[in-house]
Structure 1
Amino acid sequence: MTTFNPVTARPPVALPSMPGEREARAAHPPISLERSWLHGEDLVFDREEGFDRALAQGFFLLRIPDGLDTGPGDRFAAHFHQDRCGDALDRYRGFRNVDVPGAYQGYFDREHDQWENFYVEQANWPLLPAEVAELGRGMADLGIAVLRAVFRHLEIDPQLWGEISSGLTDHRGHQMLAFNHFRSHKATRGCKFHRDSGWVTVLRSVEPGLLALVEGKLSAINPAPGHFIVNFGSSLEVLTAALPTPVRANIHGVVATERAPGRPDRTSYVTFLDSGLDGTVYRLENGTACPVQSVADFAAQEVSRTYDNDAAL
């Protein structure tokens, strides 16, 4: 039985019902996301107040750098769940049956969701087609650069970065690729409303369907051509809760995918950036990093809340 830590779990939230695509389009218009790009180590926003607005919303758009090819990831997300059939796309198929060593990895058939996933941590990226692994490294580098930029923006002592992130700011930590296929034939939600548990998530999605509770209102988080969607995770929210500018890990989920016969299902993929399971979740108080919970216990707590079938978080 999972024990919930009152600091990291945060106050309970009653979740709205997850709508289908048509209902969501009519009822939940998109918010205007801040747009950004990386210039060296600097995270630059189109608007002067864009950085702080992104921290408050919990989501923003990050320009995909020239030379980072998302095509291999798009193909893998579209085919990983399929059986091999003898054509050129077989290198992206057959991953339902691949044994991936380590916790929270491999293929998952989510009982309560349209979601089916393939999760693979950086040490196991050699199991992927080489060009997919290369994309994963590029997405992870972007996310780590974002995290370092956030720490600088919040004036967090650089001497603390390695400790509070379990080395992620030095390109260690936990770097996970997750590929998602939403099965439109399954009459249930796309995925439950949840918070990501880690530091930064870099999302590749090409169509609407992501909804989030932002400033108390359910709104669409829509992709933009040439950009990743970046959102912040619970580790960052817990760390910064007592700072003058706290970072929000806003609750989000995916609508029930509705498809006419022959139209491809929704797919997406992300790079999750987190502390290692042997690390510690911290909160900053008066410039001191105060330990709150082990990452292993935090992960167990958040996984149980993300994939269960209740209507609360």
Structure 2
Amino acid sequence: MTDTAQEAQQGRAGDRLALPVAEVDAGALRFATSGDTERALGIGAFHVAVPEDLDVRPGLEFCRTFYQPRGDDPTDRHRGHREHGHPASKLGYEDRPDQVEQLQLESFLWQEYLPDEVTAVLRRMRQLTLEILYGVFDAVRVPETDRDLITGGARQDTGLCYTTVNHYRSGLSDRAGIVEHSDSGFITTICTDQPGYEILHEGRWLPVRERPGHFTVNLGDAFRVLTRKLPRPVTAVYHRVPELRPEAGVPDRSSCTVYMGPRYDMPLYQYDAEGNLREYQNFRDFSVKKAGKLGYDFHSRV
């Protein structure tokens, strides 16, 4: 039995879910065994080792400051994002109905709105996320010739790629930390500083066993739709963070992510049972309907 399989058994027994573990080596996504790959696709989530040359601390430090007032320094890019407006972005700051307030910015705007050291972290995470995305395409045998069309040009950064910077406001009671949901796009790479992430697994909400030095990767609805009729379908992981409560001496939970998905002006695609690629639904329409079900307004500028 592999270490990951042993951890999975122990995780279920202790009501904590141990996710499969992978690394990106020379641009390729590698799990220890084919069984770990199958389990990752079935859960829709796994851990990926943080590359040795990536220091995520500037990103997490930004999570703890972005919502604070800017003060007297007009050049301060660490603070003041709640009031900024980010006019070039179709996303920007959002005060959600759960505990999260978040800043979402498209990848082509990182340099314009974010501190240089934060942009550097996100660009490295973006490259890693792209390599993971293509590794999952390899695992489910999506032809190389279809990938630019399906993603809207992820390799060229003409698909939809953005960061979400999250501050969990533990002082807001009687709310979920973040409401249960699946991500709409293909993939989200998550960097966080505290536990709290839970997955709906085999009918039960289970906290995920934290793995220091690793990102958590979510697979989303675009993958579920694309592969649903293929021999190796991908699960869109249903996940949440339950209500977080203030704890003396412990800062609020923070996380930052890199998300990749289709553009809102293009369709989701799906393979039929014969392996032919067909248009499924406009991605914006899909996203608007989903946002309504989750109880929040879709981005008004999209």
Is the CA contact (8 Å cut-off) linking 1:125 and 1:133 kept in structure 2? yes
Shift of 1:34: 0.8
Shift of 1:139: 1.1
TM-score, length-normalised on structure 1?
A: 0.84
Residue type of the alignment partner of 2:216: I
Q: Secondary structure at the match of 2:15?
A: coil
Aligned equivalents of 1:47 and 1:179: distance in 2? 33
Shift of 1:33: 0.8
Residue type of the alignment partner of 2:104: Y
1:281 and 2:268 equivalent? yes
Give 2:50's aligned residue. Answer: 64
1:239 and 2:226 equivalent? yes
Q: CA RMSD in A?
A: 2.1
The partner residue of 2:65 within 79, 97, 109 is 79
Residue type of the alignment partner of 2:118: V
Give 1:259's aligned residue. Answer: 246
Q: Secondary structure at the match of 2:101?
A: strand
Give 1:290's aligned residue. Answer: 278
Residue type of the alignment partner of 1:119: Q
Q: Secondary structure at the match of 2:240?
A: strand
1:230 and 2:217 equivalent? yes
Is the CA contact (8 Å cut-off) linking 1:241 and 1:283 kept in structure 2? yes
Question: Which ranges of structure 2 fall in alignment gaps of 5 or more residues?
Answer: 1-12, 298-302
Question: Which ranges of structure 1 fall in alignment gaps of 5 or more residues?
Answer: 1-26
Give 2:105's aligned residue. Answer: 120
Residue type of the alignment partner of 1:118: L
Residue type of the alignment partner of 2:210: P
1:40 and 2:31 equivalent? no
Give 2:16's aligned residue. Answer: 30
Residue type of the alignment partner of 2:138: R
Give 2:8's aligned residue. Answer: none
Q: Secondary structure at the match of 2:229?
A: coil
Give 2:154's aligned residue. Answer: 168
Aligned equivalents of 1:105 and 1:170: distance in 2? 21
TM-score, length-normalised on structure 2?
A: 0.87
Residues 110-131 of structure 1: CA deviation (Å, up to 9, x unaligned)? 1x21110011111211210011
Is the CA contact (8 Å cut-off) linking 1:213 and 1:252 kept in structure 2? yes
- What is the number of residues matched between the two proteins? 281
Aligned equivalents of 1:289 and 1:102: distance in 2? 34
Residue type of the alignment partner of 1:122: S
